[in-house]
Amino acid sequence: MKYSKKALAFIGAALLLFQMGCSSPKQEEENWETVIECQYEDMGISPNQQFLIAKKDGLYGAYVKNGDSYELKIPFQYEKILCNIYSDDGLFCYYPETRLLDIYGKDGTKLQNTPFSSMESYTRRLEEEGYIVSYDEEEQGYISKEGEWILHPVYSQIEPLKDGTFITLKDDKYNWVDKEGKSLLPSEPEIEIDLSSTASSSTDSYVAVTVGDPESENKRMGILGKDGDFVIPPEYEEVYARQDDKGNFFFMCKTSDGKGYVKDTNNSVLFEYDGSNGVLPAGNRCFVAVDSIKNPSVYGLLSEKGEWIFPMQYERIQVAGELEAVTDNSGTWLYDTEGNKLSETPYDILLSEGDLKLSDPLIYFQRKEEGLKFGFTSGDGAVSIPAVYDSLYYGPFPNNDLLMISKDGKWGCVDYQNNTKIEFQYSSVVTPFTEENYAYVARGETAGIINTKGETVLPFVFENLGIENAMEGAFLAGNMAVVKKDGQYGCVKMD
């Protein structure tokens, strides 16, 4: 069969459109489809895909998930829109040229008709049930994520605790209240909460309080539980409540003659220490001690029995699960929690955070003639990669033992034995591997998505993405990705 020149031109144009990402049967063959056409100045996806944030004519609005589709429910009238980077509980939408903001719930409904003048720390804790808000920058309240008042805006300060209780300040007096605003402090004896922030001397379920006039020399401090009883009696000059990384509670108590005691929830003394030093729980039932009077400060590490794991002579001690990074004047060494040295030579910089196991890969940096290079190691020695790489995307590492790194200006992946698993061919990384094993990468001016096998999931037919700073939405969330074509942003979904 013969075709005219016009017919051939039409067929060629149609094929080109299919290749460039328009909705078509070709897209289904490639296992992706368009959710939002490329028509916006900027876009972002909330972590669990509940919201698609978009920018139009210089202002932001948002789509809200409705079943299997999205509905434009939040109008384009905001200077910036922020989402909780840990969840999809709501959106925080700021008006231009003011500090006023609206808060929208998960279904896209505005929590209050009147804009708030401020909001504090909405990403501070995942366990919090609401937001600290104010209408006038002076009096704070606490509103639920469904728009109901938990604490009405009559307080000078509100500090939520993980257990659902609050430290409040009203009329220059601190209180400890439950969700109904009922005080958890006993009526007798006369008690003052001696803190301006829960971080200073209290922790969840336990609050440091002062019995007697806080301004007098007769004041005594203790630790009060939610039932109104003293866990630590009010007989100390200073007390602190703290948790270690495993959630164990401990209390640091200092007397007027300079003695310090670490106690447990049964008011039993675990060990005594020099009260001029600071002692804080770290890791699992061990304690970092610091002498901050010296310049620079020196650190040590104590067991729960008060025995020195590391004496008081180090520049820094960092505990992370089963591992410890200990810094002296020669560099940073890797140890286990028993005090056994695991590294043969010191590192210039060692990154070790979170609840780590001996087998987890750690990043270390070494200074070389060509600059700072990095490699990987592990406490059990199974990971031992020399410091030859230029850049990296730091964990949490995917479950497939892949490390995303760059050398000679190109990005790729190696496994824990330093075998190349994805060739070093990408000019940049837009988003490193997610839990769904997708990574958004670029080849010069074009960008696409690959999986952990190095296979192309979204073809490299889209433009490399720019970065706007007026929102916290991601370019890649789950199986959805923001894409860019002809300078405009849209959204696609991968199957």
Per residue in 436-446, pLDDT (tens digit) is: 899 999 999 99
Alpha-carbon distance of 397 to 405, in angstroms, equals 12
- pLDDT reported for residue 397: 61
What ranges in 226-347 are assigned the alpha helix state H?
none
* pLDDT for the residue 202: 56
Report the pLDDT value the prediction gives residue 8, as an integer from 0 to 100. Answer: 32
* Residue 429 belongs to a domain: yes
Domain boundary among 122, 155, 188: 155
Total domains present in the chain = 2
DSSP secondary structure letter of residue 68: T
- Amino acid in position 430: V
Determine how many CB atoms are found less than 10 A away from the CB of residue 205. Answer: 19
Is residue 447, in this structure, part of any structural domain at all? yes
Domain membership flag for residue 218: no
Give residue-wise pLDDT tens across range 417-454.
Answer: 999 999 999 999 998 898 889 999 999 999 999 999 99
Query: Which residues are 221's β-sheet partners?
Result: 210, 236
Say if 171 falls within a structural domain. Answer: no
What is the pLDDT at residue 194? 58
Q: Is residue 57 part of a domain?
A: yes
Tokens of residue 52, six digits:
């698609």
Residue type, 345: T
Would you say residue 488 lies in a domain?
no
Task: Check residue 124 and give its pLDDT.
Answer: 52
Q: Which pLDDT belongs to residue 199?
A: 38
Domain that includes residue 109, residue range: 35-155
Rounded (10°) CA dihedral 167, 172, 173, 179: -40
CA angle 186, 209, 299 (to 5 degrees): 150
Assess if residue 314 is contained within a domain: no
**Among candidates 428, 446, 449, 424, which has minimal Cα distance to 438?**
449
The Cα–Cα gap between 390 and 383 comes to 18
pLDDT at residue number 398: 63
CA angle 222, 226, 230 (to 5 degrees): 30
Q: Which of 135, 155, 175 is the last residue of a domain?
A: 155
Q: What per-residue string of b and e applies to 165-203 under the rule 16 or more CB within 10 Å gives b?
A: bbbbbeeeebbbbeeebeebbeeeeebbbbbeebeebbb
Q: Please, which residues bridge with residue 236 across strands?
A: 221
Q: Give Cα separations from 139 to 101, 118, 134, 148, 179 (angstroms).
A: 16, 10, 6, 17, 18
* 8 A C-beta contact, residue 189 and residue 220: no
* CATH number of the domain enclosing 429: 2.20.25
**pLDDT digit string (tens) for the chain, length 495 residues:** 333 333 333 223 333 333 334 333 344 346 899 999 999 999 999 989 999 999 999 999 999 999 989 999 999 999 999 987 777 889 999 999 988 999 999 999 999 999 999 987 655 545 578 899 999 989 999 999 999 999 999 999 998 887 888 889 999 888 889 888 898 888 777 777 755 434 344 567 888 888 876 566 677 889 988 888 899 999 999 998 888 888 899 999 999 899 999 999 999 999 999 999 999 999 889 999 999 888 899 999 999 999 999 999 999 999 998 999 999 999 999 999 889 999 999 999 987 777 888 998 899 999 887 788 999 999 999 999 999 999 988 655 666 788 999 999 999 999 999 999 999 999 999 988 988 899 999 999 999 999 999 999 999 999 998 776 667 778 999 999 999 999 999 999 998
By CB neighbour count within 10 A (0-12 exposed, 13-18 middle, 19+ buried), where does 335 fall?
buried
Report the SS3 class of residue 259: strand
- With respect to residue 65, please indicate whether it lies within any of the assigned structural domains: yes
**pLDDT of 15:** 30
Full-model pTM:
0.83
- In this structure, what token pair is assigned to residue 181? 């605003």
Q: Give the torsion sign (CA, 437, 438, 443, 444).
A: negative
317 DSSP β-pair partners: 326
Q: Where are the alpha helices (DSSP H) in 41-133?
A: none
3-state secondary structure (DSSP) of residue 19 = helix
